[in-house]
Amino acid sequence: METINKKNSTLKNKKNLFSNQCRFIKGVASVEGLENSIIPEVAFLGRSNVGKSSLLNAITKRAKLAHTSKTPGRTQELNFFSFGEEKPILTIVDMPGYGFAKASKSKIAEWTELSKFYLSNRSNLRRVFLLIDSRHDIKVSDEEIMSMLDNCAVSYQIVLTKIDKIKDRNKKILEIQDSIKKYIAVHPEILSTSSHKDLGLGDLRNEISTMVD
């Protein structure tokens, strides 16, 4: 009976993942700070100022979960957040942005090393959600990240942000789909979102919920 109740509780939490308590666990600034975990994990990654913090706040329905700023490069650590009541059932990791950032070259090099190590050595990482600003095409820096994720055999999914800022959303999705055909670890479905207009957030929440055991 205890096993059945535990299974039913897990299914309930999975279905209503974002109704669970959400806690900030820790910020990790170096490889030495990473701890092993068996809890399912998803990570959010994107160019600086792509709208990552705003999207995290929107999908979790917590206005101040992730710090938002117009200054690129504000996320300077791997920030870990857990969902669950009695115990964590899923962890979301907010990763430092890549591309333009107001930081020293040495600091950017540290972020890059930490991110690569994390992506290459995280056995409980179920998926990386790679954020792309829908107003722009995929940039060289995005392609470099996608190639790295392919080489690390890490499953990742494209999430378009600020979709309310463009006129023809379907055309943009088709263009992105065509441009990522050569990558091997990318998820075939592209998600499109707008934190400001509350567009596509349910689809993203549902996708994240499937990562819970």
For the stretch 67-89, pLDDT in tens is 544 444 445 789 999 999 888 99
Between CA 31 and CA 197 the distance in angstroms is: 37
CATH architecture of 2-209: 3-Layer(aba) Sandwich (3.40)
Query: What pLDDT was estimated at residue 110?
Result: 80
Nearest to 120 by CA among 40, 31, 39, 189: 31
Kindly tell me the burial class for residue 191, based on how many C-beta atoms sit within 10 Å of its own C-beta (0-12, 13-18, 19 or more). Answer: buried
The residue with greater pLDDT, 49 or 197, is 197
Between CA 174 and CA 179 the distance in angstroms is: 9
Residue with tokens 């309930």: 12
Domain boundaries, the chain: 2-209
Between CA 178 and CA 191 the distance in angstroms is: 15
User: Span 101-115, mean pLDDT?
Assistant: 75
